[in-house]
């Protein structure tokens, strides 16, 4: 994330924050109590989540075929100490 630039890092932080706000708002609105009371709704949400994870896995496996072994020489190596230095 940091290796791709500050703009990508800030976009990631903004999207995670937005996702957290949506989940907290849904919880405050009582969606958690509704899901807890309805076993069927909870089961449906679990299956939707499972199907989404399978979709993400297939998408990652299909995109990984474009990577070449020659791309490894372009990877920059850094020391462990650099990871703890704040920019």
Which pLDDT score is estimated for 61? 84
pLDDT attached to residue 51 = 95
Could you list the pLDDT tens digit for every one of the 87 residues in the chain?
Answer: 556 778 888 888 999 999 999 989 988 888 878 888 888 988 998 999 999 999 998 988 887 666 565 555 665 666 666 666 655
Q: Where are the domains of the chain?
A: 2-83
What pLDDT shows up at residue 50?
95
- Output the pLDDT for position 47: 95
Per-residue pLDDT, 7:
83
pLDDT at position 82: 62
Cα distances (Å, whole numbers) of residue 21 to 14, 42, 59, 86: 11, 21, 27, 27
């Amino acid at each position: 994330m940091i290796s791709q630039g500050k703009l990508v890092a800030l976009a990631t932080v903004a999207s995670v924050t937005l996702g957290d706000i949506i989940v907290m708002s849904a919880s405050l609105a009582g969606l958690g109590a509704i899901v807890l009371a309805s076993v069927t709704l909870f089961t449906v949400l679990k299956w939707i989540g499972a199907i989404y994870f399978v979709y993400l896995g297939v998408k990652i496996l299909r995109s990984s075929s474009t990577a070449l072994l020659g791309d490894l020489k372009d990877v920059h190596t850094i020391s462990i100490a650099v990871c703890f230095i704040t920019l």
